[in-house]
Structure 1
Amino acid sequence: MASGTMFLMLLACLWATAAAESGDGGRTVPTTGGDVRGTVQYIKDLPDKPIYTFLGIPYAAPPVGNLRFRAPQPAVPWEGAIDATKPGPYCPQGPLIFQLFPFKFHHYDFDEDCLTLNIETPTVEKDAELPVMLWIHGGGLSMGFGYVVPFAAMVAQQDVVVVTINYRLGALGFLSTGDENAPGNVGFMDQVQAMAWVQENIRNFGGDPDRVTIFGESAGGLSVGYQVVSPLGKGLFRRAISQSGTSFTMEVEEKPLELAAILADEVGCESKDTAILVHCLRQKTTEEVVQGAERMMKLGSGEWGKYFAPVFNEDFLPEHPKDLYSRGQANDVDYLLGVNNNEFGFVMPSMMSANFGQKGMTEDTFILELEQLIERIYPGTKKDSIIAAARKVYRDHDNPDDPIAVQHQYTLFAGDQLFVAPTVETAGKHAESGSKVYLYEVHYAPSSHAAGRPKWVRCDHGDDLPSMSGWPFLDIHLAAGGVLPFSSEDRQFSRDIMTYWANFARTGDPSDPTGGPAGSPAVPEWPQYTPGNPTYMKLGLTSSSDVGLYPERMALWNDVIPKLVASSDKEEL
């Protein structure tokens, strides 16, 4: 995947909100590190049901000093009960996160000592054995933090335990020298450490360690996908949900030392010896490392920057995800995954062009965009045959010369390349491995998101987050004052999608309500995806199943273009 496209994944996962909290009725719960004292929150439609909330619990040792760029170590035990009523510091990143969104953040503190998790649960009874859902936030592996999407509504309405985590980002989480000095993927290994902590401790918070579902959106969905294929994830979770991102969404970086050397040059570490280079980077301040990585990303410049990405290493990722699938080595877990029906609709292209959507796109501009995208994805490949094949598929035959129609086809092209095709390919690979798979496409966007956007925008990247996590049942506070408005239809769809997700976490079947709360809504049946019957669910106010998600477009990306690239490579030889 092109390095610059990672920035496009930063947009959908960085919302800060606050549910009503109360300092009364909190509980103190033991963990392997020590006791934690939490607080209580409530949601509007279940005002008498307490949600026991524990924030900022350390799940690993502070990754500072000599532990920078290394795999996480167990948390250092503490004496007494720590105050778990406020989120811990966010993992270091640039300030852009606070500039992009109008929501009220819990705090504005960054610190490398950030490896904490948060728990929301309807009970702290050890024998409750409720399903556990561990949320991995998105942000292009460069931005974001755990406790920003509130799950109090899902917890209260569906009787599940939700865990949210911080993990190291950017250079601090994904820099690699390709050897033992900085093996890379430590952000992913933070996620593994958090899952291991859950296995050891979640019973004390009412959870069942044998029914853990990891789920995430955008780079969080991508993270879930990498955990599904990693040998380190084996036995730590039973089910997985990837929303708008899988392990096929972001390509493995095959030359990580080159990126490490660029960062070293940015901050004044010029040694070509990797041990000396990493030692020098460990002496730099957090701000120096983060700002150096920010300069590499070239955010806001209009240019394609360089980002730190997954790499091959012996422990976490010994082979490419596709090879791990081919060898039958992916983890045998139930997998629910999908996309929105307008992933590259408005938010992402607007970040690239301030005037996007106003006048449409000419045919010449479309062809130029295709050429540039193909060159970034497949550098050095003969582009003409690929562009011709793409233009044949992405054409509005009713309005071929209409600039708005041309622009719409471009958004489909880019959205398919970034999200839809990787998701469909992953569904096929995972189903072929013999595990259960459920595929979806979201068709509903919350009214608060649709306001202020062109009417032709459908469910854009990130539009599923408010519905899935239950925002319509909370007061989402804005930095400028007031709360985010939601409609009765928003609440209806949110109830349905939370039910599907929680059913899946409980039973492995999103439409099986067995063991669910009595008040949970009945939802239409969701058939299982198989290689011979590629069914998927169209999630909306009236959800229904269909067969074959854009088969012609998916065949282009997952069959035709790879063959054209391979043919071009052979010609070069």
Structure 2
Amino acid sequence: MARGVKLLLIWILCRGVNVVSSSDERTVVPLVSTANGKVQGTMNHAVDSSRPVYAFYSIPYAEPPTGSNRFQPPIPAKPWTGTKDATKIRNYCIQDQDGWNELCQTLKFPMKSPADPASYSEDCLELDVYTPDVNAKLPVMFWIHGGGLNGGSGHDYNGTALSVFNNVVVVAINYRLAHLGFLSTGDSLIPGNMGFKDQVEALKWVNQNIHAFGGDPDAVTIFGESAGSWSTSSHLVSPMSKGLFKYAILQSGSILSDIVVNKNAEYHFNEAAILLGCVNGSKSEITDCVKQAPVEDIHQVIVKTSGNMKYDRVTVDGEFFPKHPKYLYEEADFSDTKIMVGTTEHEMYMYISLWSFDGQYNYGTFLEEIKFANELFCQKDTVTVENLNKIAKFYLDKDISEMDEKSYREKAIEITTDFTMEFPVLNLTNTFVERGGTAYLYLYSHSPSHMQTIRPRDYGAHVDELLFLFGYGFIDPNELNERVTYTNDENTFALQLMKYWVNFAQNGDPNSEDLPKWPKYNLESEEFAVLQPQPNVRQLFRKEKFQF
């Protein structure tokens, strides 16, 4: 255990952080003046810590995208009079909330979105700010949530522990999701990428206002996981995002994944229009019908098509993406750009574990399981029967007659992790470095102890690192966040993980003297950090897997 992190853990668990008396002025939640008006927040504490974090919830950064503003780029929030109450969460963006909560429950993820339909609205373009000191000039960590671009919320992530233990300002945003965020006609009628443009507007708001919360607008790091990483990797090459952030952290996702960019936008728009009953008239008239559809009807279409990711994909709209992101990456100059990027070791455990089958598990079942997962993320020519057989034969290290269900499933997780996450992320990282960028590559490899009772082995699965990065072992439970108890080693690991991330946000380098060394990634040595309770360094191997 690194000495500095060990001392910090003892400090947190045994004494609290910066104990403040009730008369200390910091026990009074400050009133913050933004360019739009005043906001009044609330005070949070991490477990066993007396140092407050000031939380400001549901600050609007854009006007409600309703009525004639539906499917349009966001409009900056207008000023308000008086003081806006930012002590509680207001709205979540419209989504299939039941499906999202069921997924979180199945995976034992200690968060959920509200079950009350009234909590979901088109009027959801808001953000949360967590700050330990409104009078400072601290690095800013701008969080973009995942959820396949069709679920989740910035409100799901409590930034208290990350903020107070590391002296940073944390911003977590909402952006439009599913059809309301990414539906496109494939032309100027509805160009698409509304959700990405929301993220740009939120970044502009941060650049203009974060100084009032103790943040440094010149030290903004964007970070996101899964679809949040699709987003983050998109901002690296979008001209709309240029100059709005300094560093980027990409967790388990790449905009260069096969299926993220919608190649049949108009076809999928027409499918959605039919479900909404918009079937008569010219293309312009059908588009107007969709724009004017009751939001309840759109919500039902979102629920009906949830899990079919073809509706929730980005488009080459000529503005956010002037051309396909593949070409933007290949042509970019990243010589002044630094990223941290990586995946978890068993990303696809969460999908494979949800796949059910009838009868005996055999080689045919194994191929079906690979096909099921890969079709979510890969083009059709990758998941042909012929190609699946080639892939299976390459990965299987023993005769089919010796394979049982456990062996098959472990190989299915390895294969689908490589094809859906590992290869696209490595492809992006290699291109980024070839174009002059500085990258720190990681592999997260630890299963949270509270999940090990439901998993067949110590899997480091999709989203697992977020439990430690956001310090869920240090956060008091509430109606949306369950308390998770971790071992002392895991709490130490959580502090290490936070510090790597915050070091990078401060300096563009995750390293410090009290942490195990994390080398820069280069195309010769191909070294990366393995993030687990005892971090170490490895090199890439079996590169022949890329042949597929």
**TM above 0.5, one fold?**
yes
User: Sequence identity of aligned pairs in percent?
Assistant: 35
Match of 2:305 in 1: 296
Query: For residues 300-379 of structure 1, what are the structure 2 equivalents within 5 Å?
Result: 306-328=310-332, 332-345=336-349, 347-353=350-356, 361-370=361-370, 377-379=378-380
8 A Cα contact 1:263 1:296, kept in partner? no
Report the CA distance between 1:129 and its aligned residue.
1.9
Report the CA distance between 1:101 and its aligned residue.
3.8
| Cα separation, 2, equivalents of 1:332 and 1:147 | 32
Report the CA distance between 1:161 and its aligned residue.
0.4
8 A Cα contact 1:230 1:330, kept in partner? no
Q: Does 1:213 align with 2:205?
A: no
**SS at 2:156 equivalent:** coil
Match of 1:551 in 2: 542
**SS at 2:188 equivalent:** coil
8 A Cα contact 2:148 2:309, kept in partner? no
Match of 2:521 in 1: 529
| Cα separation, 2, equivalents of 1:305 and 1:311 | 13
Match of 2:413 in 1: 411
Which sits farther off after the overlay, 170-179 or 306-315? Answer: 306-315
Residue identity opposite 2:347 in structure 1: E
- Kindly tell me: are residues 496 and 305 of structure 1, through their superposed partners in 2, closer, same or farther at Cα, counting changes over 3 Å? closer
Q: Does 1:132 align with 2:133?
A: no
Match of 2:10 in 1: none
Match of 2:41 in 1: 38
Deviations 1:120-165 (A, max 9, x none): 011111xx22110000011110011112121211111110100000
- Kindly tell me: are residues 512 and 484 of structure 1, through their superposed partners in 2, closer, same or farther at Cα, counting changes over 3 Å? closer
Match of 1:110 in 2: 120
Match of 1:57 in 2: 59
**SS at 1:229 equivalent:** coil
| Cα separation, 1, equivalents of 2:202 and 2:316 | 21
Query: For residues 180-329 of structure 1, what are the structure 2 equivalents within 5 Å?
Result: 180-249=188-257, 250-271=259-280, 273-297=282-306, 299=307, 306-328=310-332
8 A Cα contact 2:149 2:313, kept in partner? yes
Q: What is the aligned length?
A: 513
Query: For residues 501-540 of structure 1, what are the structure 2 equivalents within 5 Å?
Result: 501-512=501-512, 522-540=514-532
Which sits farther off after the overlay, 164-173 or 382-391? Answer: 382-391
Query: For residues 366-405 of structure 1, what are the structure 2 equivalents within 5 Å?
Result: 366-370=366-370, 377-379=378-380, 383=384, 386-397=387-398, 401-403=402-404, 404-405=406-407
**SS at 1:52 equivalent:** strand
Report the CA distance between 1:217 and its aligned residue.
0.9
Gaps of 5+ in 2: 1-21
Query: For residues 441-456 of structure 1, what are the structure 2 equivalents within 5 Å?
Result: 441-454=443-456, 456=457
Report the CA distance between 1:69 and its aligned residue.
0.3
Report the CA distance between 1:277 and its aligned residue.
2.0
Match of 1:458 in 2: 459
| Cα separation, 1, equivalents of 2:280 and 2:232 | 35
8 A Cα contact 1:396 1:405, kept in partner? no
Residue identity opposite 2:545 in structure 1: L
Match of 2:16 in 1: none
**SS at 2:296 equivalent:** helix
Extract structure 1 runs of 4+ deviating beyond 6 A. 372-376
Gaps of 5+ in 1: 1-21, 514-521, 562-573
Match of 2:468 in 1: 467
Match of 1:172 in 2: 180
**SS at 2:353 equivalent:** helix
TM-score by length of 1: 0.84
Residue identity opposite 1:177 in structure 2: T
Which sits farther off after the overlay, 463-472 or 91-100? Answer: 91-100
| Cα separation, 2, equivalents of 1:400 and 1:110 | 51
Report the CA distance between 1:350 and its aligned residue.
2.6
- Kindly tell me: are residues 443 and 32 of structure 1, through their superposed partners in 2, closer, same or farther at Cα, counting changes over 3 Å? same
Report the CA distance between 1:375 and its aligned residue.
7.3
| Cα separation, 2, equivalents of 1:77 and 1:478 | 32
- Kindly tell me: are residues 193 and 502 of structure 1, through their superposed partners in 2, closer, same or farther at Cα, counting changes over 3 Å? same
- Kindly tell me: are residues 432 and 259 of structure 1, through their superposed partners in 2, closer, same or farther at Cα, counting changes over 3 Å? same
Residue identity opposite 1:202 in structure 2: I
Which sits farther off after the overlay, 375-384 or 254-263? Answer: 375-384
Report the CA distance between 1:370 and its aligned residue.
4.8
Report the CA distance between 1:283 and its aligned residue.
1.6
How large is the RMSD of aligned CA atoms in angstroms?
A: 2.5
**SS at 1:147 equivalent:** helix
TM-score by length of 2: 0.88
Report the CA distance between 1:383 and its aligned residue.
4.1
Residue identity opposite 1:277 in structure 2: I
Match of 1:90 in 2: 92
Report the CA distance between 1:343 and its aligned residue.
0.9
- Kindly tell me: are residues 305 and 443 of structure 1, through their superposed partners in 2, closer, same or farther at Cα, counting changes over 3 Å? closer
Match of 1:542 in 2: 534
Which sits farther off after the overlay, 143-152 or 288-297? Answer: 288-297
**SS at 1:36 equivalent:** strand
8 A Cα contact 1:399 1:405, kept in partner? no
Residue identity opposite 1:113 in structure 2: D
Match of 1:144 in 2: 152
